[in-house]
Amino acid sequence: IQQPWNSIVLEGLRLLDEKREFGEPLPRQLLDTLSGIKNINNFFVLNYNGQIIEGSAQRPIHPITLTFVWYKLKKMLNLFYTDKFQYVALTKPDGYYFVFEHRPNLVVIETNFHVIIPDFAQDIRKIIQKMQNGNK
């Protein structure tokens, strides 16, 4: 064992707390709301293992790649900009991938090039925040 036992116990307790606090599935209203937004080509929901739990990926990128990118960037950026890191925007040949965290899941949205990244991301964050506040 390379890690001290107390950090393993604390990590386990943190995961239990997250599961208890965020164990609810993604609300259907969020998916309904996203499907009505202009310039969204597709969206799907990933769990922490990179498995699709809602929707379907229609592009050649593997969902585990998006999960890996999210968590690697989050881990690096949380050291410096904890509250600033809210989404990832990746360019693809015909648009963008946006990855947002809706704990314990990731919401991946595929768009065309007709979106303005900061404005679109802010609108989606507001929708997700509204859904999270509505569930409490």
Is the separation of the CB atoms in 115 and 39 below 8 Å? yes
Residue 71's pLDDT is what?
73
The answer to the question of residue 2 being in a domain is no
Q: What is d(CA 46, CA 27) in angstroms, rounded to the nearest whole number? A: 14
The answer to the question of residue 15 being in a domain is no
The answer to the question of residue 122 being in a domain is yes
The answer to the question of residue 9 being in a domain is no
The answer to the question of residue 63 being in a domain is yes
The answer to the question of residue 6 being in a domain is no
What total number of domains does the chain contain?
1
Judge if pTM exceeds 0.75.
Answer: no
Per-residue model confidence as pLDDT tens digits over 90-126: 888 888 988 888 777 788 888 899 889 889 889 888 8
Task: Quickly list DSSP for 11-69.
Answer: HHHHHHHHHHHH-SPPPHHHHHHHHTSTTEEEEEEE-TTS-EEEE---SSS-HHHHHHH
Per-residue model confidence as pLDDT tens digits over 31-84: 777 777 888 888 888 877 778 877 777 766 777 777 777 777 777 766 665 556
Tokens of 133: 């506040």
Q: Provide the domain limits for residue 72.
A: 23-134
The answer to the question of residue 76 being in a domain is yes
